Structure 1
Amino acid sequence: MTATTDMYLQPPIGHLLRQWRERRRLSQLDLSGLAKVSTRHLSFLETGRSKPSREMVVHLSGQLDIPLRDRNILLLAAGYAPVYPESPLDAPQMSAVRTAVSQILKGHDPYPAIMVDRNWDIVDANRSFSLFTEGVAPELLEPPINALRLTLHPDGMAPRITNLGEWRAHLMHRMRRKAARDDEAVALYEELRDYPCDQPEPELDMPGPGDIFVPLNLRQGDRTLSFFGMLATFGTALDITVAEMVIESFFPADPETVAALHGGLAHMPAESKE
């Protein structure tokens, strides 16, 4: 497909702006107040009576908190070249990013941590993440390793997750939101949805007494380890690759798991054991 055909099939910039405004549940009056633009001008932009400048597309994209990848799509729809680069992680200018990610992952040992891209494919992981991959079918560990597939596949982590229904519902809720705004995520969502689960999946996250998060309870030998996750992103990214990186760090959710991990739990690679 040629670039000319792609541009022909691209929805008009006004249509895309209106879609994003409605997705953010903002009226034209709301957005005009945020962007310091008259409602009349916004109406003209959305209906195609006026063409936005490149600066206006970038400005409105920022006010609507549109991801950088989608901002480039809006710029193309308005007839402008994309302005946000997408650099490979091994590019020279990404050196500081690689160093920061490596420090975070290694510094999180002996707790598991991974970095994933926009598709939840694992880009990097620390040594302790091997705890999660014990007993997983070899084909699920062939690159690119998808973190969600690894977790929910019946030949992956799923048989070891003692609260699989609860954890699966949590992940599928996150994935459903992603699929609603990203057509590329629909196929993965449908694949995950069809995996078997022998536990009931709650439709709502209703906390019980004392609950403060959904734990990941993982069977390890004759005991169960409990974790909660934290997500970290780069806050001032101007590159698509950097903006879409997510580091997920897992922390012990109870004293027993803390003791097991700090007590030399045998989950490290064989060459690391003394």
Structure 2
Amino acid sequence: MTTIAATGAGVGPLLRGWRERRRLSQLELALRADSSARHISFVETGRARPSEEMILRLAGHLEVPVREQNVLLLAAGYAPRFTESTLDEPRLGALREGIEQLLGGYEPYPALVVDGTYTVVAANGGIGVLLAGLPDHLLTPPMNAMRITLHPEGLAPRILNLPRWRGHLLAQMRRQLALSRSESLRALYEEVSGYPLPEAAEGVTAPVGPEDGDVCPFFALPMRIDHDGRVLSFVSSISTFNTPMDVTVSELAIETLLPADPATAAYLRSLAG
């Protein structure tokens, strides 16, 4: 994921940018961080150099992503606090093993792990069932979950409630962009939001809840997908790691697709059998 470049202006303008992004006043931030509005003002204008502890405290209250917290520290003249590992490094061996056990234990239901720009870093056999028949250019690593789902040659033509599901995914990306300044994520959003809808879905609005006052028969918005003439329904759950101390780990998300009805669950179990 792209980082925010540390500017020569120092940490103050960067902190001010994050505060304004969160729509907090200096007083509100000061109250949350057990400081004073005067001190926050001095930090933002460069009249006071914040301690490393203060930077991390402010970043925590501003919900600054771990990657960008390193940028703040560098801009203030401190060393980065958080490492950035690759997933194949020995120090992350326990993480890899845990992810593999989790994905394998979830089968036959689909589950995958993505990074901060939805690049697929791991997936189980249940995902392979859904991706069967897609073109090679979408499945050649590095695969991207958003691209696979919304591309007109991907899953999009098979998703029966595509306008709603697409609206949900794009809203999810917009929420992420509000919490991050990742240029690569923004570029991905611009790409996938510009994909044309399949003809059957053109002109259809994309609400994320029941229409016309109907009661939704599912407990959450499902993705309803045509699989070899059979309708499969899934609801999505996303998990992240609490209090990550590594940039790479902080950006991982585990998505599990839970069968939304007994027929979907039975069908997947029959394939496994």
TM-score relative to the length of structure 2: 0.89
Distance 1:26 1:216, change over 3 A: same
Deviation sequence 1:48-103 (CA, Å, 0-9, x none): 21111222111211222211101011111112221110011111110111111111
8 Å contact kept, 2:164–2:206: no
- Residue 234 of structure 1 corresponds to 241
8 Å contact kept, 1:57–1:74: yes
Of the candidates 86, 89, 102, which is equivalent to residue 104 of structure 1? 102
Distance 1:21 1:212, change over 3 A: farther
Give the aligned residue type for 1:255. P
Distance of 1:257 and 1:241 partners within structure 2? 34
- 1:23-172 mapped onto 2 (5 Å cutoff): 23-172=21-170
Gaps of 5+ in 1: 1-5, 266-272
Question: What SS does the aligned partner of 1:219 have?
Answer: strand
Distance of 2:208 and 2:258 partners within structure 1? 20
Please say if 1:247 is aligned against 2:250.
no
Tell me by how many angstroms 1:37 deviates.
0.7
Taking only aligned residues, the RMSD between alpha carbons, in angstroms, comes to 1.8
Higher RCO, 1 vs 2 (CA within 8 Å, ≥6 residues apart) = 2
Distance of 1:101 and 1:23 partners within structure 2? 34
Distance of 1:218 and 1:203 partners within structure 2? 16
- Residue 196 of structure 1 corresponds to 196
TM-score relative to the length of structure 1: 0.89
- Residue 3 of structure 1 corresponds to none
8 Å contact kept, 1:179–1:189: no
Distance 1:10 1:224, change over 3 A: farther
Distance of 1:264 and 1:91 partners within structure 2? 35
Distance 1:238 1:202, change over 3 A: farther
Give the aligned residue type for 1:183. E
Gaps of 5+ in 2: none
- Residue 209 of structure 1 corresponds to 215
Question: What SS does the aligned partner of 1:248 have?
Answer: strand
Give the aligned residue type for 1:205. V
Of the candidates 247, 260, 264, which is equivalent to residue 271 of structure 2? 264
- Residue 269 of structure 1 corresponds to none
Tell me by how many angstroms 1:264 deviates.
2.5
- Residue 20 of structure 1 corresponds to 18
Matched positions, count: 260
Q: How much identity, in percent, do the aligned residues show?
A: 46
Distance of 2:103 and 2:149 partners within structure 1? 19
Distance 1:97 1:47, change over 3 A: same
Distance 1:201 1:68, change over 3 A: farther
Distance of 1:202 and 1:50 partners within structure 2? 51
